């Protein structure tokens, strides 16, 4: 049985105050169901607020960061699936947690980071990727719009033109391209990513805690002043789309491995 909630997340803490929070649903490529989103948010807040934590590293087990929403779980749940309001509130809370905890957050991305998984990476302060990693802004591929703050996080990082291309086309963005446009700080061979993330995290953990906190707050405030408005637009639009025939068709097409037939 696939783990869910806190059972689907591994947490490790080292002697310097580096806390690694890793999504552990490898049989689902670390896809996120609602209980796991909630647990991940809670753990980021708990550890980020703990005086013993100086840096958080986010990662995924089994060769994937996260493929975003667990579409199979949504389909299986049917009428019992979380409401669109609950789904959107969960995604927004997760991203807010990453942005507002008072410690630096590093995303160590292997394999795919898709959907809200991209938002999770973009909300992080620093992003490291393996050479085989890619960012998949797959929202429109399944009849949805960006959520988890992606509609403001991506333009803030790369500008309107590049963000529009990535979000409207829904293409996969390789680690090399992510580095070229400034989404990834470093790209490493897969075997070297974890040590590289640990090295960076330990360097930051030795730094001045309060200065790093205020620097993070200043950068976020300067670049994401429109976050609240963006999340509100995403909430309204996605709640409409999550109950649309196009989303139902998008989910079916992914699970059935065929081209979607949208309206």
**Would you say residue 2 has pLDDT above 80?**
no
Kindly report, residue by residue over 25-35, the tens digit of the pLDDT.
Answer: 999 999 999 99
Q: What is the pLDDT of residue 13?
A: 97
Is residue 54 within 8 Å of 89, Cβ to Cβ?
no
What mean pLDDT do residues 235-241 have?
97
Q: What percent of the chain has pLDDT over 90?
A: 92
pLDDT of residue 187: 99
Q: Are 210 and 54 in contact (CB under 8 A)?
A: no
The CA angle 105-158-134, to the nearest 5 degrees, is 65
Q: For residues 39 and 255, give the distance between their C-alpha atoms in angstroms, rounded to a whole number.
A: 26
- pLDDT, one tens digit per residue, over 141-155 is 999 999 999 999 999
167 contacts 154 by C-beta, under 8 angstroms = yes
pLDDT digits (tens, 9 = 90+) for 177-194: 999 999 999 999 999 999
* Averaged pLDDT, 37-55: 98
Task: Give the pLDDT confidence of 78-137 residue by residue, as tens digits.
Answer: 878 899 999 999 999 999 999 999 999 999 999 999 999 999 999 999 999 999 999 999
Q: What is the DSSP string of 47-96?
A: HHTSTT-SEEEEEESTT-SB-SB-HHHHHHHGGGSPPHHHHHHHHHHHHH
Running DSSP on this structure, what letter comes out for residue 32? B
């Amino acid at each position: 049985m696939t783990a869910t909630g806190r059972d689907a997340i591994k947490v490790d803490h080292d002697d310097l105050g580096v806390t690694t929070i890793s999504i552990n649903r490898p049989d689902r490529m670390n896809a996120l169901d609602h209980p796991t989103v909630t647990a991940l948010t809670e753990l980021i807040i708990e550890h980020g607020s703990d005086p013993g934590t100086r840096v958080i590293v986010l990662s995924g087990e089994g060769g994937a960061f996260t493929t975003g929403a667990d579409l199979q779980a949504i389909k299986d749940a049917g009428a019992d699936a979380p409401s669109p309001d609950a789904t959107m509130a969960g995604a927004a809370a997760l991203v807010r947690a990453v942005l507002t905890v008072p410690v630096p957050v590093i995303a160590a991305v292997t394999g795919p980071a898709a959907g809200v998984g991209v938002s999770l990476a973009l909300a992080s302060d620093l992003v490291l990727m393996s050479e085989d990693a890619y960012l998949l802004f797959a929202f429109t591929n399944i009849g949805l719009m960006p959520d988890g703050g992606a509609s403001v996080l991506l333009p803030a990082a790369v500008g309107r033109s590049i963000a529009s291309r990535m979000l409207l086309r829904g293409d996969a963005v390789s680690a090399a391209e992510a580095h070229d446009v400034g989404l990834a700080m470093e790209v490493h061979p897969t075997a070297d990513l974890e040590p590289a993330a640990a090295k960076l995290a330990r360097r930051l953990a030795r730094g001045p805690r309060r200065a790093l906190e205020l620097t993070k707050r200043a950068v976020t405030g300067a670049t994401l002043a429109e976050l609240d408005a963006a999340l509100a637009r995403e909430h309204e639009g996605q709640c409409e789309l999550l109950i649309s025939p196009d989303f139902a068709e998008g989910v079916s097409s992914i699970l059935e491995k065929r081209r979607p037939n949208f309206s």
